[in-house]
A and B are shown apart, each in its own frame.
Chain A
Amino acid sequence: MSILIFADQAQGKIKKAALEAIQYGAKVAEQLGTTATALVLGPVEASELVALGNYGAQKVLHAADTRLHEVESIVYTKVIAEAAGKEGSMVIIFPHNFDGKAVAPRVAARLKAGLVSGAISYPDTANGFVVKKNVFSGKAFANINITSDIKVIAIIPNTFPVAPGTATAAVEAFAPAINDADFKVKVVKTETVSGDIPLTEAEIIVSGGRGLKGPENWGILEDLAKALGAATASSRPVADAGWRPHHEHVGQTGLTVRPNLYVAIGISGAIQHLAGVNGSKVIVVINKDPEAPFFKAADYGIVGDAFEVVPALTQAVKKFKEA
C-alpha cells in the first residue's frame, strides 16, 4: 500500500511541481508508515528517473510508451488507476498544476476517491484524514476530511519545500494496458512562450498594473525581472486592455500564484488581485499612491514613482548580484 505520486514531465524533464509532489508524498508515506512510488508517463531519461530518489521516492514506475508524451485525460486516468491498483495505493498525490487539474478529478471519480485539490497542508490523521486547502481564491482556508477509502490530494505548486537528498530510486518499467482507441483528444500543436518561466512555478514574479501607463513602458519591468531571474505578470486591467497576453493575468479570475517574492508595480491591489497573490511569501509594493490598498497586504512598500524607483531597484539588484 504505497503512496502513489503522479510526477508529470514536459519534454522529458520532471516538472518542479512534480518534485514537490514527490517530496510531499514521501512525507505522507513516512507519516503513514509506508513507501512512496512516483509514476512517470512518457519518455524520460533513466538518470532523471533514478534521481527521483533524492526527493524521497523509493520506487519509480515508468511507462515509457511514447504515446503518453502528452496528457490525454482518459488514457492517463486508466494508467494511473492501473498503477494505483498494482501498488495497492490508498493515497494518490498530484501537483495542482495544469496536468494535475486535467487528470486528478477523473482519477478521483474513477476510483471513487475523495479529492482535495489546492492542498496546502500534510494530512492530519489524528481525527480522520483532514487536509487544509485554499478556498475563496486564497482569501480563506478550509479543513476537509476525506472519508472515502482511497484519497486523492492535489497540492499547490511552490507551497511545500524541496530539499533533495542523496538516495536513488528503484526504477521499474511499467506497461499499462492502453490502446490507440483510448486517445480521444489529440494534440495537434503546442505553443509555448519560449524562454519564459511558467508563472505558477516561478519563485520570483514581477507584476505590473495600470500605473505603468502603457505596454511601451514594460521595458523597465522586464529589466527588473531579468535582474532578479523572475517571471513577469500583470493585473487584470492590463490584460483586458491587451497590453500584456492574458496568460500573464494574475488574480481571482486569472492565475493564482505563490512565489517566494511578488513585486507589484503600479497595481492598486483590488481584492480580486490580492486573491491571486496573497499566498506569496513576501510582497513588495511600489506605488505612488500611499493610500493604495495593496500596501496593507505588503511586507515592504515603496511610495514613489515607478519610472524612477524600478530602474533604481534594478541597479541595486545588479550591484548585489555582482558583489
Chain B
Amino acid sequence: MKILVCISKTPDTTAKIAFTDNNTKFNEAGVQFIINPYDEWYALVRALELKETIGADVHLITVGGADCDPVIRKALALGGDEAFRINADSADSYYIASQIAAHAKDKQYDIILTGKETIDYNGSGIGGMVAELLELPYVSIAAKFDLNGTVATVNREIEGGEEVCEVSLPVVVSCQKGMAEARIPNMRGIMAARTKPLTVAEPAAADTLTTVVSFELPPAKAGVKLISPDNMDELVKLLHEEAKVI
C-alpha cells in the first residue's frame, strides 16, 4: 500500500493577517507557519493510522520553496516515511495540482489524501484537480475513510448530512474533521525525521491560470450597539427595523 499525502504550509490559525508591497503580498513578519490543519490533523494522521493497521508507505509532497522544509520535517516527525518538495512558488491551484500529478503519475499510489482546503487561500481545489489530471475517482470533504481490501468506504459530507460511498482504489480523497484524531510528534519521531529522505525536485512544465492582483482586509465594524438584557423587545425591534434581518 502506497499513500501520498499533500501538505501545504500555512500561517498559524491565530496569525495576524496583514499585507505588504502595496497589498500584493502576505506580511510574514512575526508569523509562525504550520502544516495546514486539514492536511495534518485529518489527511496525514489518517494515512499514519492506515500505516499502523494495515502497513503502508506514507509519502508526503509539498509545492513550495525551502521555507517549507521545517513544515515538511514536522510531517515526517509525525510518521511520514519520505518527503518530496517541488521547488516552485505558486498560488494557482491548477499549477500546484499539475506538480502533484506529475510527481504521482508513475508512483502507483493507492490513496492520495489532501486536506479539504487550506486555511490561507481556501481554494479547496487541489484534490479534485489532481484526481482529474490522473483520471482517478475523487471523494470530497470526507469525514471517514475505511478500507476493506482494495475497496474504500468513505463518508462524504453533503448539505445537512452525509453520503456513505464505496470506491475501489486508487482514489483521491479530501479530508476534514472526523477522519482521525490529531497527534503531536514525539521526540523519537523528531529525531528520526532528521534522517528521513526529503527529495527536492524542480517543477514540471505547467500553466498558471490565475494570478493574485491584490489583497484587502474587511472594513472594520462600526462598533457594537449594547442592549440591556431586560429589553429584548428593543433588540427584536432593532433587528426588524434597523438591521432588517427578521
Contacts and interface: CB of A to CB of B under 8 A. Distances in A.
Interface centre among B41, B120, B153 (most CB of A within 10 A): B120
B59 to A, nearest CB: 21
B163 A70 contact: yes
Interface string A132-155: 111111111111111110000000
Contact of A200 (B159, B214, B216, B236): B159
Interface string A101-139: 111111011101111111000000000101011111111
B229 A184 contact: no
Dominant SS at the B interface?
Answer: mixed
B8 interface: no
B94 A114 contact: yes
Interface residues of B, number: 83
Given A192-B158, A285-B224, A105 B132 contact: yes
Nearest to A230: B246
Contacts, number: 285
A211 interface: no
B127 interface: yes
The 3 residue pairs across chains A and B that have the minimum distance between CB atoms: A105-B128, A304-B229, A192-B161
Interface string B205-245: 00111111111111001101111111011011111100101
A264 B211 CA distance: 36
Given A114-B94, A142-B214, A101 B140 contact: yes
Given A302-B229, A302-B235, A316-B236, A143 B214 contact: yes
B148 interface: no
Contacts of A246: 143, 177-178
A105 to B, nearest CB: 3
Contacts of A189: 163-164
B209 A316 contact: no
A115 B213 contact: no
Nearest to B168: A184
B225 to A, nearest CB: 5
A144 B227 contact: no
Contacts of B38: 253
A302 B226 contact: yes
A304 to B, nearest CB: 3
Contacts of B246: 204, 228, 261, 317, 320
Interface in B24-62: 37-38, 41
A282 B94 contact: no
B195 interface: no
A73 B208 contact: no
A134 B216 CA distance: 10
B210 A146 contact: yes
